[in-house]
Amino acid sequence: MLFQLILSSGLCLSVCAAPDVLKRASSSYVSKGMVAFGLIPSNATDSTGTTIGGIGSAIAIKRGTWARSADGKSYSGCFIVQPDRGYNVVQTVDFEGRQHEFAFTLQPYNGTTPLSFTAAQQTLSLTYNGTKLYTERAGKATTGLDALDVRPVNGSDPIIPVPSVKTKNNLSLDAEGLVLNSDGSFFVGDEYGAYLYKFNADGSLNYVIQPPPAVIPMLNGVVNFTSATSPDTGRQTNKASPDGTKLYGMLQAALMQDSDDGDSDNYVRLFEWDVSLSPANLTGEWVVPLPQTSKGKTITQNEIHYLDGSKFLVLTRDDFGNGDTTTTSTYKSIDYFDITSATNIAGSKYDATDDGVAPGGDLHGKVIPAVYTPFLSMISSTQLSRFGLHNGGSINSTLIDGKWESLALAPALDPQNPDDYFLFTAADNDFITLDGVMAGQSYSASYGSNVDNQFMVYLVTLPGLPAGSVAQSIA
């Protein structure tokens, strides 16, 4: 389980995509459809010679790079993309945390005539620029190896997940959420500890934010960071407010104490920290209900994105598609939730280790949850076919990836439609390739087929956002 993070002309622009799948929500948010598709090949490598994969775990637009062409027909910028812990189908590997930079050009396509898969890739072209590695205390590399041990409190650092205090005392990092700050520093959400880490601009660790005791994974009364076993209690994604003072993190699924079996319960927690203070101060905590299948299985969330302080986009989905043996997805959706009327439980008894806010999956009656609203389906056959993609059927390069885990937002800069934004999302391909290199060793994924790192782009109308706030967050 992880933390997703958020910090908190008369031209038509040819971005009014096919209207047959317009999906309207009660807030008047509107999806104008899919407008671009791109990919990074599964066997691409970075400057260290390592396979580039898992990059959908987190993406962000590099500050100061987003621009619209003079004729209004294209856009350009740079993505910062962050993989998770490396190829780990057989076992976890000593994969140093990192981020990659990709320059991109967006040429939105609004036509109804389907593009070929090759032509579709021209609507979002991506070029590798470089890689930044993550280091921790004393300049040591971080690692993707399983957190089988716990480093004791040291100075300002709380207990830290590591593979072994004696033989591999390096920070275990399964990076997920990513927030870029205006000074070049950045926050990373982690799946091992459900911790938040602030890194300096050079990739070195600055400080650690530990969530409330309720989130720390425990087994038989002992802290248990390992991903190999399920804890009794605990576990967490991230984003920030545009001004960079508030950092938000949300659990992927319910805490063990907020569920009956850790799988089928839908009440997850959203946290808010004031990061203008040192140390960061927890100032908000709310309960968010996630959608469920007809059989009562919760559809987990994989990314959130700040909108206006009370509303957040959220990506929820199943795993099905390319990368999974089941190829037909039944739910991949970018939705939103509103915490305006939700109960702030920060600092309450529910932050204790064993006091669930929804024991057995039943929310306490005095706690009001956020309001969750479906918004944009990612598996519309009409929209996918316009870009040469399909959901279900044969496993091949045109099958939509299964694991979409990231969101980025940029203003369309259209004077006639000031509430229009481009919504980017990318998939985590789990480093699945038949021609891979990991920790200096070649590998061929057991899946038996290549899974490219796919990107999709939508045009959406989001009225009511604070003027210039999205631009401020990437400026």
Tens digit of pLDDT at every position of the chain (475 positions): 455 555 442 222 212 222 223 333 445 899 999 999 999 999 999 999 999 999 999 999 999 999 999 999 999 999 999 999 999 988 999 999 999 999 999 999 999 999 999 999 999 999 999 999 999 999 999 999 999 999 999 999 999 999 999 999 999 999 999 999 999 999 999 999 889 999 999 999 999 999 999 999 888 889 999 987 766 554 445 667 788 899 999 998 899 889 876 555 899 999 999 999 888 999 999 999 999 988 888 999 999 999 998 999 999 999 999 999 999 999 999 999 999 999 999 999 999 987 899 998 999 999 999 999 999 999 999 999 999 999 999 999 999 999 999 999 999 999 999 999 999 999 999 999 999 999 999 999 999 999 999 999 999 999 999 988 999 999 8
Q: CB of 284 within 8 A of CB of 346?
A: yes
DSSP state letters, 153-216: PBTTB--EEESBTTTB-S-B--EEEEEE-TTS-EEEEESSS--EEEE-TTSBEEEEEPPPGGGS
442-446: Cβ within 8 A, 24+ apart: 443/87, 445/87, 445/89, 446/89, 446/90
Q: CB of 233 within 8 A of CB of 162?
A: no
| Paired sense of beta strands 332-338 and 30-40, if any | unpaired
Q: What pLDDT, on the 0 to 100 scale, is given for residue 390?
A: 98
Distance CA 460, CA 447 (A): 35
Q: What pLDDT, on the 0 to 100 scale, is given for residue 15?
A: 22
Contacts of 405 (CB under 8 A, 6+ apart): 56, 57, 58, 176, 302, 303, 315, 426, 427, 428
- In three-state secondary structure terms, 141 is strand
* Helix or strand run (H / E) with residue 120: helix 117-120
Q: What pLDDT, on the 0 to 100 scale, is given for residue 12?
A: 21
DSSP state letters, 364-414: -TTPPPPEEEEEEES--HHHHHTTT-BSSSS-STTBPBS-EEEEEEEE---
Distance CA 308, CA 346 (A): 20
Which residue reads 């789990």 in tokens? Answer: 430
User: How crowded is the C-beta side of 303, counted as CA atoms within 13 Å?
Assistant: 30
Query: 312 - beta bridge partners?
Result: 306, 337
Q: What pLDDT, on the 0 to 100 scale, is given for residue 454?
A: 98
The b-or-e profile of 250-275 (16+ CB within 10 A means b, else e) is bbbbbbbbbbeebebbbbbbbbbbeb
Closest C-alpha among 305, 247, 310 to residue 280 = 247
- In three-state secondary structure terms, 425 is strand
Distance CA 315, CA 36 (A): 18
Backbone Cα Rg of the chain: 21
Closest C-alpha among 181, 179, 188 to residue 171 = 188
Q: What pLDDT, on the 0 to 100 scale, is given for residue 98?
A: 98
The strands making up 186-190's β-sheet, listed across from edge to edge, are: 175-180, 186-190, 196-199, 205-209
44-49: Cβ within 8 A, 24+ apart: 44/128, 44/453, 45/437, 46/98, 46/100, 46/128, 46/131, 47/130, 47/131, 48/131, 48/133, 49/437, 49/440
Q: CB of 406 within 8 A of CB of 58?
A: yes
Query: 222 - beta bridge partners?
Result: 219
Distance CA 201, CA 424 (A): 24
Residue 109's alpha-carbon distances to 13, 386, 461, in angstroms, are 10, 9, 17
pTM recorded for the entire structure: 0.93
Report CA torsion sign: 100, 104, 108, 113. Answer: negative
